[in-house]
């Protein structure tokens, strides 16, 4: 169960103009512009201003207060409509988390609990994960991930429109994630630049699935259409740096009043035509679309399929300094006349017949002298080497000095589950944080040690930030016993298929440590740690007895 954020939790991220740390007595509009947009569809309802929720008082808590003797509240980032949101610290796992708090008798307490528990069951790493949802001591609180290495889309768009490749990745990843959520009966209903985070590796994470709408009392008769239009608005903003409705919102300027919806490529020059049409197909607006007679996309599934059939947009090529151009002597044309395309430099000295002969003679003498000197120097060095090292004949392993391997910093990681059945994606960071008290754990399996045919394996894709030479890995495991098999693969992307990856090396151990060495260094950015066999272990670490394994720490070297 998990959810992360670089700053706060977006439940009070209104139009982007209100500060997130609004005072308790300061009412927010929850994005007046967003509310107007939803109102056009006549299927989204919000709690009225005179509702009991708006009159309710948030819990009177302070920094330092502990929940369940574990979560220490640090900073209040939102306080309105009877609930508050905090940045907190999980003292047990020693990591930052986010917490939503509201009284147990709050009219939205039950819907919030139900939404949080449903979102936690999804277990999709593309969403910020819910970690806990509890009713305790007249309080209801939801604990979620806090992503310190991710950035809200709001400041990203404030700096300018996205490149076509980045905008393509945004709509592709968000539409696929929301399509998966809707297949499980979950909707967001508050997708906006404040609820989408971009990690340092270029992955997009969605926070507040179902929970944000429950906290704000938002419902919809057509939730799929609502979320699809919201994705279209995100794409529109990414292409134009404008909000596709009248009025400003989320730090972006809106469209001029009275002109209606304008296609992105008419708002800003140089916009990718295919992405422009895709945004218009998603922005339904009462069923109308400005696309070229293309059918509107009314569900995230339809939008994801439309993205998939688009010609793939390649990432921008790296820019390298162009080497200086040097003038080339042009060959003479037939008849001896020199080519006139490039001016020929004045002839060097010694161009007469006598001069040429003298030049070649001097060159031959110099070459002979250099050859004789080199031979004498090599002979001397060989004799010295034989006298100093009488046992010079040895295996190739003892010859040249080996370069000492150095640890490689891991920049990020994602759980790898090609079958869509994840283990504990919210614990991935614990597998490389250097803390022996934390770990990523698999689920417990009834049969083993080999997981197949029930499951091919479980694992994590680690991002090294850029292509680097890797020659081995040291893996600290949570359980010992007969036995664990770990294989390393080089991948082109975090979501590549296992068949497309290159096998680097594998290791098998019955202890809690596995050291894997490659026959020769390989260059890659993404490394998959793939576990296909696990030992049997008794009940421990909040899991039952069975075949299971956990990764306490991973260190790559190169």
pLDDT in tens, 189-234: 999 999 999 988 888 999 999 999 999 999 999 999 999 999 999 9
Does 514 fall in a domain? Answer: yes
Which string of DSSP letters, residue by residue, matches 493-537?
STT--GGGSEEEEEEEESSSEEEEEEEEEEEEEEEEEEEEE--EE
Instruction: Indicate if 154 and 287 belong to the same structural domain.
Output: yes
All residues at 6 or more sequence positions from 164 whose CB lies less than 8 Å from its CB, including other chains: 272, 275, 313
Domain of 204? 150-309
Can you tell me which residue has the tokens 């004498």?
376
Instruction: Indicate if 126 and 230 belong to the same structural domain.
Output: no
Please choose, from the candidates 66, 111, 113, the residue with its C-alpha nearest in 3D space to the C-alpha of residue 86: 66
Does 16 fall in a domain? Answer: no
Instruction: Indicate if 97 and 233 belong to the same structural domain.
Output: no
C-alpha to C-alpha distance for 44 and 41, rounded to whole angstroms: 7
Beta strand pairing status for 440-441 and 546-547?
unpaired
Other C-beta atoms closer than 10 Å to the C-beta of 219 total 16
Count the domains in the chain.
Answer: 3
Can you tell me which residue has the tokens 């991935």?
428
Alpha-carbon distances of 227 from 12, 182, 543, rounded to whole Å: 19, 10, 36
Does 334 fall in a domain? Answer: no
Q: Torsion angle of alpha carbons 213, 218, 221, 223, nearest 10°?
A: -20
Instruction: Indicate if 420 and 492 belong to the same structural domain.
Output: yes
Does 406 fall in a domain? Answer: no
Contact at 8 Å (CB) between 434 and 555? no
Other C-beta atoms closer than 10 Å to the C-beta of 440 total 27
Does 218 fall in a domain? Answer: yes
Contact at 8 Å (CB) between 547 and 444? yes
Contact at 8 Å (CB) between 234 and 173? no
What pLDDT is recorded for position 263? 92
69 DSSP β-pair partners: none
What pLDDT is recorded for position 453? 81
What pLDDT is recorded for position 537? 87
What pLDDT is recorded for position 398? 44
pLDDT in tens, 311-332: 888 887 654 445 444 444 444 4
C-alpha to C-alpha distance for 153 and 199, rounded to whole angstroms: 10
**What is the CATH classification number for the domain harbouring 533?**
2.60.120.260
Instruction: Indicate if 140 and 197 belong to the same structural domain.
Output: no
Instruction: Indicate if 91 and 240 belong to the same structural domain.
Output: no
Does 527 fall in a domain? Answer: yes
Tokens representing 305 are 């399929």
Helices within 56-137 (DSSP H only): 109-122
Global pTM value:
0.55
**What is the CATH classification number for the domain harbouring 243?**
1.10.510.10
Other C-beta atoms closer than 10 Å to the C-beta of 148 total 11
Instruction: Indicate if 187 and 250 belong to the same structural domain.
Output: yes
Does 135 fall in a domain? Answer: yes
**Which residue among 111, 145, 179 closes a domain?**
145
Residues of the chain with pLDDT below 50 are 1-9, 11-50, 287-291, 319-321, 323-342, 344, 350, 386-401
Does 25 fall in a domain? Answer: no
Other C-beta atoms closer than 10 Å to the C-beta of 165 total 15
**Which residue among 91, 113, 145 closes a domain?**
145
C-alpha to C-alpha distance for 366 and 459, rounded to whole angstroms: 64
């Amino acid at each position: 169960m998990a959810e992360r954020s670089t700053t706060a939790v977006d439940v009070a991220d209104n139009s982007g103009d209100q500060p997130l740390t609004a005072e308790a007595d300061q009412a927010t509009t929850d994005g007046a512009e967003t509310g107007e947009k939803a109102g056009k569809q006549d299927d989204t309802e919000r709690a009225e201003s005179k509702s009991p929720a708006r009159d309710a008082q948030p819990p009177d808590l302070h920094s330092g207060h502990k929940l369940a003797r574990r979560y220490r509240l640090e900073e209040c980032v939102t306080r309105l409509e009877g609930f508050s949101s905090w940045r907190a610290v999980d003292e047990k796992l020693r990591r930052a988390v986010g917490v939503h708090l509201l009284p147990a008798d709050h009219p939205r307490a039950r819907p919030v609990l139900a939404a949080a528990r449903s979102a936690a069951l999804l277990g999709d790493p593309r969403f910020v994960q819910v970690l806990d949802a509890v009713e305790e001591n007249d309080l209801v609180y939801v604990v979620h991930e806090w992503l310190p290495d991710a950035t809200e889309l709001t400041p990203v768009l404030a700096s300018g429109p996205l490149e076509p490749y980045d905008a393509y990745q945004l709509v592709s990843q968000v539409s696929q994630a929301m399509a998966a959520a809707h297949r499980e009966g979950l909707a967001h209903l508050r997708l906006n630049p404040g609820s989408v985070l971009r990690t340092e590796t270029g992955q997009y994470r969605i926070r507040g699935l179902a929970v944000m709408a429950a906290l704000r009392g938002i419902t919809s008769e057509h939730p799929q259409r609502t979320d699809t239009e919201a994705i279209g608005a995100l794409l529109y903003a990414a292409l134009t740096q404008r909000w596709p409705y009248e009025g400003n919102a989320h730090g972006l300027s809106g469209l001029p009043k009275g002109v209606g919806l304008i296609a992105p490529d008419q708002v800003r020059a140089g916009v990718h035509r295919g992405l422009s049409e895709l945004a218009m197909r998603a922005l339904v607006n009462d069923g109308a679309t400005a696309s070229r007679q293309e059918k509107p996309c009314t569900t995230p599934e339809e939008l994801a399929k439309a993205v998939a059939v688009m010609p793939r947009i390649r990432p921008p090529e790296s820019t390298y300094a162009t080497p200086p151009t040097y003038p080339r002597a042009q060959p003479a044309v037939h008849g001896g006349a020199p080519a006139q395309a490039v001016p020929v430099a004045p002839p060097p000295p010694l161009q007469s017949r006598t001069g040429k002969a003298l030049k070649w003679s001097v060159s031959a003498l110099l070459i002979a002298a250099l050859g004789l000197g080199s031979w004498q120097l090599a002979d001397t060095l060989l004799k010295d080497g034989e006298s100093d090292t009488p046992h010079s004949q040895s295996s190739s392993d003892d010859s040249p000095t080996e370069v000492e391997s150095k640890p490689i910093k891991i920049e990020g990681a994602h759980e790898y589950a090609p079958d869509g059945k994840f283990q504990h994606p919210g614990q991935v960071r614990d597998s490389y944080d250097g803390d022996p008290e934390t770990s990523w754990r698999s689920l417990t399996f009834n049969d083993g040690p080999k997981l197949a045919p029930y499951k091919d394996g479980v694992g994590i894709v680690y991002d090294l930030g850029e292509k680097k030479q890797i020659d081995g890995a040291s893996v600290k495991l949570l359980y010992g016993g007969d036995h664990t098999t770990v294989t390393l693969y080089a991948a082109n992307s975090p979501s590549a298929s296992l068949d497309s990856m290159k096998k680097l090396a594998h290791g098998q151990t019955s202890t809690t440590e596995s050291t894997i060495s490659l026959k020769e260094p390989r260059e890659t950015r993404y490394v998959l740690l793939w576990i296909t066999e696990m030992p049997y272990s008794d009940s421990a670490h909040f899991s039952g007895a069975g075949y299971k394994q956990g990764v306490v720490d991973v260190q790559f070297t190169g």
